[in-house]
Amino acid sequence: MSWTADTLEAFKAWLGATTPPADDATLTRALGLALATLETYLDRPLEKAERTQDDYNVGGVILLRAWPVESVATIDAGGVPIAFDPLRLDKRTGRLGVPCWYGATSTKYTGGFEPMPIDLEHALWMIAAALVPAVQSAAGAEAGQPIIRVSTPDVGTVEFARASSSGGAADRLLGATLSPQVESLVQRYRAESVVGGA
């Protein structure tokens, strides 16, 4: 199951939601948008999954984007396996020490959260709760498009990709406010917090 399905009943209880006014489909969609919003803001995927990450110009360390990392299956360069020492993997931060390699690499690994940490889940619920009215009133097709940008640090709007770029119309914007409380809950999970050592 996905995080949105796993957390739906707990989210409904926290929200005090009944059907109506917010049905399960609306709440599930709001949770999915909240997850996409937060992943965009944090610049990293959150749910645990098997992943493939492509990198270029690896200087002895690969920064795996979905951490914590459970395991690394393979690393290859142009189909040729690169030997690596599993003991050089920092599972908490996703840093993987590899032989110094300059070129394209592809890493297959399993990483992300399962279960979601309590502070992240609470932040996701707060974002989803704020999105519910917009999801109920938004045009379905446009609000369901992938998120392509979240402005930071003052996240006031979420920009969605359009189903069609014809006509040069501006991208659909769906208001999504990240409160200072949400930002304080999630700041340590931002991708650059690992790179910067914070």
Which of 40-44, 60-64, 121-125, 169-173 has the least mean pLDDT?
169-173
> Distance (Å, rounded) from C-alpha 51 to C-alpha 53?
6
Q: Where are the domains of the chain?
A: 3-45+115-195, 49-111
- The counts of H helices and E strands in the chain are 6, 10
Return all residues near 50 (Cβ < 8 A) that are at least 6 apart. 108, 109, 110
Residue range 115-120: average pLDDT?
96
> 80-81 and 173-175: which strand pairing?
unpaired
> Distance (Å, rounded) from C-alpha 106 to C-alpha 82?
10
Query: How confident is the model over 88-108, as pLDDT tens digits?
Result: 999 999 999 998 888 899 999
Residue range 71-96: average pLDDT?
92
Query: How confident is the model over 138-180, as pLDDT tens digits?
Result: 544 344 555 555 544 444 455 555 444 433 222 333 344 577 8
Whether residue 61 is predicted with pLDDT greater than 60 in this model: the reply is yes
CB 124 within 8 A of CB 135: no
Predicted structure pTM score: 0.77
Task: Give the per-residue pLDDT at 185.
Answer: 92
On the question of a cis peptide bond just before residue 68, with omega within 30 degrees of 0, the verdict is: yes
The identity of residue 171, as a single letter, is: D
> Distance (Å, rounded) from C-alpha 186 to C-alpha 141?
29
